[in-house]
Amino acid sequence: MLLALGSLTLSFLFAVGDPPIRLKLSDDMFFRGEHARVRVKTAATGYLLVLRADAEGHVRVLFPLEPTDDASIRGGKEFEIRGRGNREAFTVDDREGSGKILAAVSARPFQLDSFSRGGHWDYAALSGIRCPAGRTTMISSPTP
């Protein structure tokens, strides 16, 4: 599994070629009420998970929209993450501060049963996941 943060990439782990995950946001700075577009490109075909942590650290899932949705992606192809009703990925609701967009790709489907209930994301279960302000975390492990 590989994880990228915001517009950062893991390119320093690899000498040549595309980074494992590339995230592009529609802007560098957003104001409350603005709509944000998120584009993703992965080097390898696999399964994608994209999360957003707001300025207070609350985590929301941007992709897949529902835990039962197909999260498979083709490597080398850039695509835009769309929200409900085919809208932009998310609307900025933070009053102030910095949020984070986190993306992970895996050769195998993610096991997300503990974060879903009745075919929908269980945000009560996700509330235990906090993304502290001012800290960035990067996880990488080889995929078989």
| Structural domains in the chain plus CATH codes | 2-126 (2.60.40)
Q: How confident is the model at residue 109 (pLDDT cuts 50, 70, 90)?
A: very high
Neighbours of 55 (CB within 10 A): 16
Distance CA 30, CA 45 (A): 31
pTM listed for this prediction: 0.75
**pLDDT of amino acid 112:** 86
% the chain with pLDDT above 90: 33
> What span, in angstroms and rounded, lies between the C-alpha atoms of 77 and 21?
11
pLDDT one-digit tens code per residue, 43-80: 999 999 999 888 888 888 999 999 999 999 999 999 99
4 has pLDDT over 60: no
Three-class DSSP category at 4: strand
Residues with Cβ within 8 Å of residue 81, at least 6 apart in sequence: 38, 39, 40, 50, 62, 63, 89
